[in-house]
Amino acid sequence: MNCGLQTIKALRVSSMENLLEVQKLTIRFGANTVVDDLTFVLPKGKTLAIVGESGSGKSMTALALLGLLPPEARLSVQQLHFQPTAEQSFQLQNCQAKDWQQIRGREIGMIFQEPMTSLNPLQRCGQQIDEVLRLHLGHNAQQARQRSLEWLGKVKIQDPERIYRSYPHEISGGQKQRVMIAMAMCCNPSLLLADEPTTALDATVQKDIILLMRELQQEFNTAILFISHDLSLVAGMADQVLVMQQGKLVEKGSSEQIFEHAQAPYTKALLSCRPPLDRKVVRLATIDDFVEKEQNTEEKEVAPTIPPAPSANLLEVKNLSTWFPVQKSWFGKTRNWVKAVQEASFDIKAGQTLGLVGESGSGKTTLGRSLLRLIEPTAGVIHYNGQDIEKIDAEAMRQLRRELQIVFQDPYSSLNPRLPVGLAITEPMKVHGIGSNDQDRVERCIVLLEQVGLQADHFTRYPHEFSGGQRQRLCIARALAVQPRFLVCDEAVSSLDVSVQATVLNLLKDLQAQEGLTYLFISHDLAVVRFMCDDIMVMKDGVIVEKGPAEQVFEAPTHPYTQALLEASR
């Protein structure tokens, strides 16, 4: 059957009720099967969620529906039937380029997993939304601009005019994610493919975006294929749930059936790996604990925590400010500034973890990078281990970087695409003189890969051969390779599914106990922050509005903004 538009004169009622019908979808890369004989239907106006570990085939399924599989992928399918209206019917597996121009963006919107690499770095954000509106809805320049600004406001961007004029590199990760959501939703598509749509967003914005997606669904009868590793989000969003493991469908059913009466051991394991928000736990359950060892770790999870031994401050920060110029006069003098961080003062004790939470764009990432002088602060004092690192020269700072490492928020742009990941991990070891020879460094690299849940044979692969979650694990392994003392984790587990997230968080805790590591842990996930952190700081608009022991902040928050964050997470 040709993909082009078909006039349907007689359709069964059951077919009209289903927007999308997928039968026996199989995707292979050489001998590796990443999606295996997957069948499901998505009714109009409903939400179907796909959950599973990183690499289970979730994103590949979405890409197959848009005809965006890599050239080396081999697609085998009995049917990919998409019917947005009674007069329109497509067999997606047969679509040609001219058909996809009509479908993508207009009938099927896509929120990609990684907004950092999904936006054109050479175009302003507003221009990219304008392009979608002009191409699919025929808007002129003025209409497109007005509609773009409306959608930037709908996705809760505080200064739509500024973001409209900004290039992607000038805005935060969470703001990029919201721009992507606006682009995907602005044409009111029949089907919205949402691949981890709220990964980089804090709890309050995440809640607003989910409400926005529901409003669109109700107003335009939009169907949503929702891919997420956040099971609490899926529970409140989905009508039906598919659980995938290594490309295979292991369980499906209504949201209530899956979350209240899961049958498959793998599904039960996924539900057990999520950190609880209502209490502090010592260790998280993992897939191995639940499936392979067939044991319930509930008692171990809720064991009381041991208060950390008193220690000296490893990092002391006083009145740290970081400003960025945004407007200059004809004479080169700066007239306006973005005050990303304003007079931040805090201490981090050796061997402990300070959590940093707040909205996207609140200054969290800027603060973390300023501490390492990856961004030069405008003012303030940073003492690391008694040394004022603001006053040391470039060579001394380079030597110190072995002790000060960072796991960046964006795993896609953090790895050199031309280097095998093994070399990306062993290179900093060689620079800092770790290991007596190359063989020693290779062996240490393999140990690190296995520690973060990857395999030894991944050493020779390139970054593009890994999923987003796997790339994040590679970034963690690279940061740990030089045996640092202080590690800034900037949304280090935000792109990981709950099972891998539990493994990595346990690993970070184990390394902290074994090596005495100190962490600044930046995250929008308050459940993860409660599990990881001894103390917490809350940032809003570049200002630290609350800080204190983790349990105190969670149990008795004093600032209205902190109270709102906690309320949105429940």
Reference 270, options 300, 304, 230; nearest CA is 230
Structure tokens at 48: 């179907």
**Structural domain includes residue 319:** no
Judgement on whether residues 415 and 267 belong to the same structural domain of the protein: no
β-partners of residue 405 are: 487
List b or e across 91-100, with b for residues whose CB sees 16 or more CB atoms inside 10 angstroms. Answer: bbbebeeebb
Is 166 within the bounds of a domain? yes
Give the C-alpha separation, 279 to 315, whole Å.
28
Q: How many CB atoms lie within 10 A of CB 544?
A: 22
492 is a domain residue: no
Under 8 Å between Cβ of 227 and 194: yes
CA angle 464, 466, 469 (to 5 degrees): 125
Domain boundary among 483, 518, 537: 483
Q: Coil, strand, or helix at residue 98?
A: helix
Cα separation, 367 vs 364, in Å, equals 5
Q: Largest alpha-carbon pair distance within the chain?
A: 79
Q: Determine phi and psi for 366, rounding to 5 degrees.
A: -60, -40
Looking at the domain assignment, is residue 445 inside a domain?
Answer: yes
Domain closes at, from 226, 252, 272 = 272
Distance between CA atoms of residues 92 and 94, nearest Å: 5
268 and 415 both lie in a single domain: no
Name the residue among 332, 80, 570 with its Cα closest to residue 557: 570
Q: Are strands 223-227 and 191-195 parallel, antiparallel or unpaired?
A: parallel
| Total structural domains within the chain | 2
Picking from 344, 402, 409, the residue whose alpha carbon sits closest to that of residue 377 is 344
- Residues 36, 247: contact at Cβ < 8 Å? yes
* In-domain check, residue 1: no
Beta bridge partners of 426: none
Structural domain contains residue 135: yes
Q: What is the pTM of this model?
A: 0.75
Query: What does DSSP say about strands 387-388 and 379-384: parallel, antiparallel, or unpaired?
Result: antiparallel
Q: What DSSP designation does 280 have? A: -
Domain with 129, as residue range(s), is 17-272
Predicted pLDDT at 479:
92
Q: What is the DSSP letter of 288?
A: I
pLDDT in tens, the chain (570 residues): 445 444 333 333 344 588 999 999 999 999 999 999 999 999 999 999 999 887 788 889 999 999 999 999 999 999 999 998 888 889 999 998 888 988 999 999 998 877 667 899 999 999 999 999 999 999 999 999 999 999 999 888 888 999 999 999 888 777 888 899 899 989 989 999 998 887 767 777 777 778 878 887 888 889 999 998 777 788 888 999 999 998 999 999 999 999 999 998 888 888 888 888 888 888 888 877 765 554 444 434 433 344 445 568 999 999 999 998 876 656 666 667 888 999 999 999 999 999 999 887 789 999 999 999 999 999 999 999 989 998 888 889 988 999 999 998 777 778 899 999 999 999 999 999 998 899 999 999 999 998 888 899 999 999 988 877 788 889 989 999 999 999 999 988 877 778 778 888 888 898 898 888 999 999 988 889 999 999 999 999 999 999 999 999 999 999 999 998 888 877
| Burial (Cβ within 10 Å: 0-12, 13-18, ≥19) of residue 23 | middle
Q: Are 65 and 257 in contact (CB under 8 A)?
A: no
- Is 335 a domain residue? no
CATH code where residue 106 lies: 3.40.50.300
DSSP alpha helix (H) spans, 278-390: 287, 298-301, 364-371
Give the end of a domain, one of 483, 518, 534.
Answer: 483
d(C-alpha 474, C-alpha 481), whole Å: 10
Query: The dihedral of CA 494, 495, 497, 503: what is its sign?
Result: negative
Inside any domain, residue 534: no
Rounded alpha-carbon distances, angstroms, from residue 546 to 252, 277, 346, 540, 566: 43, 19, 11, 9, 13
